[in-house]
Amino acid sequence: MKFRPLHDRVVVRRIESEEKTKGGIIIPDTAKEKPQEGEVIAVGPGARDESGRINALDVKAGDRVLFGKWSGTEVKIDGQDLLIMKESDIMGVVAL
Protein backbone atom coordinates (compact mmCIF):
# COMPACT_ATOMS: atom_id res chain seq x y z
CA MET A 1 0.00 0.00 0.00
CA LYS A 2 1.39 3.38 -0.96
CA PHE A 3 -0.47 5.50 1.58
CA ARG A 4 1.01 7.06 4.72
CA PRO A 5 -1.37 8.72 7.18
CA LEU A 6 -0.40 12.06 8.70
CA HIS A 7 -0.11 13.12 12.35
CA ASP A 8 -2.07 10.86 14.75
CA ARG A 9 -4.15 9.14 12.06
CA VAL A 10 -4.38 5.35 11.72
CA VAL A 11 -5.46 3.21 8.75
CA VAL A 12 -7.56 0.18 9.79
CA ARG A 13 -9.00 -2.76 7.83
CA ARG A 14 -12.22 -4.14 9.33
CA ILE A 15 -12.15 -7.79 10.37
CA GLU A 16 -15.36 -9.47 9.26
CA SER A 17 -17.42 -11.11 11.99
CA GLU A 18 -18.68 -14.68 12.02
CA GLU A 19 -21.60 -15.57 9.78
CA LYS A 20 -23.00 -17.93 12.43
CA THR A 21 -23.90 -17.38 16.05
CA LYS A 22 -22.54 -19.70 18.74
CA GLY A 23 -25.88 -21.50 18.65
CA GLY A 24 -25.49 -22.24 14.93
CA ILE A 25 -27.93 -19.66 13.54
CA ILE A 26 -26.76 -18.20 10.22
CA ILE A 27 -26.93 -14.39 10.09
CA PRO A 28 -28.00 -12.97 6.70
CA ASP A 29 -26.01 -10.09 5.18
CA THR A 30 -28.92 -7.67 5.62
CA ALA A 31 -28.99 -8.23 9.41
CA LYS A 32 -25.24 -7.93 9.99
CA GLU A 33 -23.76 -4.88 11.65
CA LYS A 34 -20.44 -3.42 10.61
CA PRO A 35 -17.62 -4.98 12.62
CA GLN A 36 -16.04 -2.84 15.33
CA GLU A 37 -12.80 -4.78 15.25
CA GLY A 38 -9.97 -4.32 12.79
CA GLU A 39 -6.31 -4.66 11.97
CA VAL A 40 -4.03 -1.63 11.88
CA ILE A 41 -2.47 -1.33 8.41
CA ALA A 42 -0.48 1.92 8.77
CA VAL A 43 0.08 4.64 11.38
CA GLY A 44 1.18 8.24 11.19
CA PRO A 45 4.26 9.60 12.97
CA GLY A 46 2.27 11.08 15.88
CA ALA A 47 0.73 14.33 17.06
CA ARG A 48 2.74 17.38 18.07
CA ASP A 49 2.44 18.79 21.58
CA GLU A 50 2.60 22.48 22.58
CA SER A 51 6.41 22.53 22.47
CA GLY A 52 6.52 21.04 18.96
CA ARG A 53 7.74 17.54 19.90
CA ILE A 54 6.12 14.55 18.22
CA ASN A 55 4.40 12.10 20.57
CA ALA A 56 4.57 8.60 19.11
CA LEU A 57 1.37 6.56 18.79
CA ASP A 58 0.57 3.60 21.08
CA VAL A 59 -0.63 1.36 18.22
CA LYS A 60 1.50 -0.09 15.44
CA ALA A 61 0.88 -1.85 12.13
CA GLY A 62 -0.41 -5.38 12.71
CA ASP A 63 -2.25 -4.62 15.99
CA ARG A 64 -5.83 -5.87 16.31
CA VAL A 65 -7.97 -3.04 17.72
CA LEU A 66 -11.51 -2.21 18.81
CA PHE A 67 -13.07 1.09 17.74
CA GLY A 68 -16.40 2.89 17.96
CA LYS A 69 -19.29 2.02 15.65
CA TRP A 70 -19.22 5.36 13.84
CA SER A 71 -15.47 5.98 14.04
CA GLY A 72 -13.33 7.00 11.12
CA THR A 73 -13.82 7.80 7.48
CA GLU A 74 -14.36 4.99 4.99
CA VAL A 75 -12.03 5.08 1.98
CA LYS A 76 -11.04 2.74 -0.84
CA ILE A 77 -7.28 2.41 -1.38
CA ASP A 78 -5.79 -0.10 -3.84
CA GLY A 79 -9.22 -1.77 -4.12
CA GLN A 80 -9.52 -2.35 -0.35
CA ASP A 81 -12.20 -0.86 1.88
CA LEU A 82 -10.34 0.81 4.76
CA LEU A 83 -10.99 3.25 7.60
CA ILE A 84 -8.89 6.29 8.45
CA MET A 85 -9.35 7.44 12.05
CA LYS A 86 -7.56 9.31 14.79
CA GLU A 87 -5.80 7.24 17.42
CA SER A 88 -8.20 8.64 20.03
CA ASP A 89 -11.09 6.83 18.25
CA ILE A 90 -9.46 3.48 19.06
CA MET A 91 -10.72 2.01 22.33
CA GLY A 92 -8.01 -0.59 22.83
CA VAL A 93 -5.73 -3.29 21.46
CA VAL A 94 -6.99 -6.90 21.50
CA ALA A 95 -4.41 -9.31 22.89
CA LEU A 96 -4.30 -12.61 21.02
Q: Which CATH number goes with the domain that contains 65? A: 2.30.33.40
CB 88 within 8 A of CB 8: yes
- Classify residue 2: in a domain, yes or no: no
- Classify residue 3: in a domain, yes or no: no
* Pairing mode of beta strands 64-67, 73-77: unpaired
* Sign of the four-CA dihedral 78, 84, 38, 23: negative
Please tell me the predicted confidence (pLDDT) of residue 31. Answer: 52
Q: 6-59: per-residue pLDDT in tens?
A: 998 999 998 876 665 566 666 665 555 566 889 999 999 988 888 989 988 889
Q: 72-89: per-residue pLDDT in tens?
A: 899 998 888 899 999 989
Distance of alpha carbon 26 from alpha carbon 1, whole angstroms: 34
Q: In this structure, which amino acid lies at residue 26? A: I
- Classify residue 54: in a domain, yes or no: yes
Domain count, the chain: 1
Please tell me the predicted confidence (pLDDT) of residue 35. Answer: 65
Distance of alpha carbon 38 from alpha carbon 28, whole angstroms: 21
Please tell me the predicted confidence (pLDDT) of residue 9. Answer: 93
